[in-house]
């Protein structure tokens, strides 16, 4: 495996049963456009092309991009770029086995996009983090962003042996349905707020020019809606 691919934390899905469950969960229709981050070994890309009207797959690794070009589907648009750093084409459904190192980037990006649903495979620890609630040890900026922006459904667990090479951690497949969309600027502000997560929220808000009384609660004890009010 390429050093670059290892650096991205990419483990390629090899279990056809798990693949089938992901495709079933995506419920793609011929009138829909699917977006994928990372064509990888092409197994997911191929199944998306069989079911969606159009598939746009972004692959940052040049070698993997060239390999994916051999798939030969007329409804497939391959882009050799980092999806989370370019202006993306419009899409209906996001389906991706995310490199673990890019899960946070993907969620923050999805929070700013308009789409119908997303089916994503992430590290189980990350699934726990984005599901955390105010006051939990795992409650972070990404928790507040995801709780506010998505209805999150944890569909099923995926074992290590489903990937090649096997990762050191367990994975989960999630369904995200957008509830709110926020701006990239709001994402930055939320991350900035959580850099002061243990400080009194009222004082942090005042320094931001927001006059609101949160009592004695710290930033990491605020509800996602309250966090977003400060970041607006």
pLDDT, one tens digit per residue, over 133-168 is: 999 999 999 999 999 999 999 999 999 999 999 999
pLDDT computed for residue 8 by the predictor: 47
Q: How far apart are CA 21 and CA 80, in angstroms?
A: 27
- Residues whose CB is less than 8 angstroms from the CB of residue 216 and which lie 6 or more positions away in sequence, other chains included: 200
Structural domains in the chain (count): 2
pLDDT computed for residue 131 by the predictor: 96
Q: How far apart are CA 30 and CA 53, in angstroms?
A: 4
pLDDT computed for residue 132 by the predictor: 97
**Quick check: 10 pLDDT over 90?**
no
| pTM, entire model | 0.93
List the one residue out of 51, 118, 71 whose CA is nearest residue 91.
118
Q: Mind listing the pLDDT tens digit for each residue in 185-194?
A: 999 999 999 9
Same domain, 112 and 220: no
pLDDT computed for residue 9 by the predictor: 52
Return the H-helix or E-strand segment holding 231: helix 224-231
pLDDT computed for residue 3 by the predictor: 41
Same domain, 136 and 202: no
Helix (H, G, I), strand (E, B) or coil at 74: coil
Same domain, 222 and 108: no
- Residues whose CB is less than 8 angstroms from the CB of residue 169 and which lie 6 or more positions away in sequence, other chains included: 100, 123, 124, 125, 160
Same domain, 113 and 76: yes
Same domain, 175 and 204: no
Same domain, 18 and 103: yes
The stretch 197-204 carries a mean pLDDT of 95
Query: Cα–Cα distances in Å, from 132 out to 66, 110, 135, 155, 222?
Result: 39, 18, 9, 17, 12
Same domain, 113 and 190: no
pLDDT computed for residue 5 by the predictor: 42
What are the two backbone dihedrals, phi and then psi, of residue 96, each rounded to the nearest 5 degrees?
-160, 140
Of 142, 161, 181, the residue at which a domain comes to its end is: 181
Same domain, 133 and 215: no
pLDDT computed for residue 208 by the predictor: 87
Same domain, 8 and 83: yes
How many residues appear in the chain?
A: 232
Same domain, 203 and 111: no
Same domain, 153 and 217: no
- Residues whose CB is less than 8 angstroms from the CB of residue 58 and which lie 6 or more positions away in sequence, other chains included: 35, 36, 37, 38, 39, 79, 81, 82, 83, 86, 88
Structural domain harbouring 156:
3-181
Tokens 């011929």, residue located: 30
More confident residue, 210 or 49: 49
**Quick check: 101 pLDDT over 80?**
yes
Q: How far apart are CA 180 and CA 186, in angstroms?
A: 12
CATH of the domain at 40: 3.40.50.150
Q: Say if CB 218 and CB 200 are below 8 A apart.
A: yes
């Amino acid at each position: 495996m390429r050093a670059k691919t290892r650096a991205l934390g990419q483990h390629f899905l090899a279990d056809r049963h798990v693949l089938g469950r992901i495709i079933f969960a995506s419920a793609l229709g011929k009138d829909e456009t699917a977006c994928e981050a990372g064509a990888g070994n092409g197994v997911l890309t191929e199944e998306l092309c069989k079911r969606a009207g159009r598939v746009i797959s972004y692959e940052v690794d040049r070698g993997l991009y060239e390999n994916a070009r051999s798939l030969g589907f007329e409804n497939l648009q391959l882009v050799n770029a980092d999806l989370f750093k370019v202006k993306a084409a419009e899409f209906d459904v996001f389906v991706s086995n995310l490199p673990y190192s890019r899960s946070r980037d993907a969620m923050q990006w999805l929070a700013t996009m308009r789409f119908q649903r997303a089916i994503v495979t992430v590290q189980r620890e990350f699934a726990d983090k984005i599901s955390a609630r105010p006051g939990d040890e795992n409650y972070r900026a990404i928790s507040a962003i995801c709780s506010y922006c998505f209805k999150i459904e944890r569909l099923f667990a995926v074992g290590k042996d489903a990937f090649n090479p096997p990762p050191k951690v367990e994975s989960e497949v999630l369904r995200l349905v957008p509830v709110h969309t926020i701006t990239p600027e709001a994402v930055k502000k939320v991350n900035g707020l959580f850099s002061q997560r243990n400080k009194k929220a009222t004082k942090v808000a005042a320094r931001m020019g927001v006059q609101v009384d949160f009592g004695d609660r710290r930033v990491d004890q605020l509800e996602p809606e309250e966090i977003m009010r400060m970041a607006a």
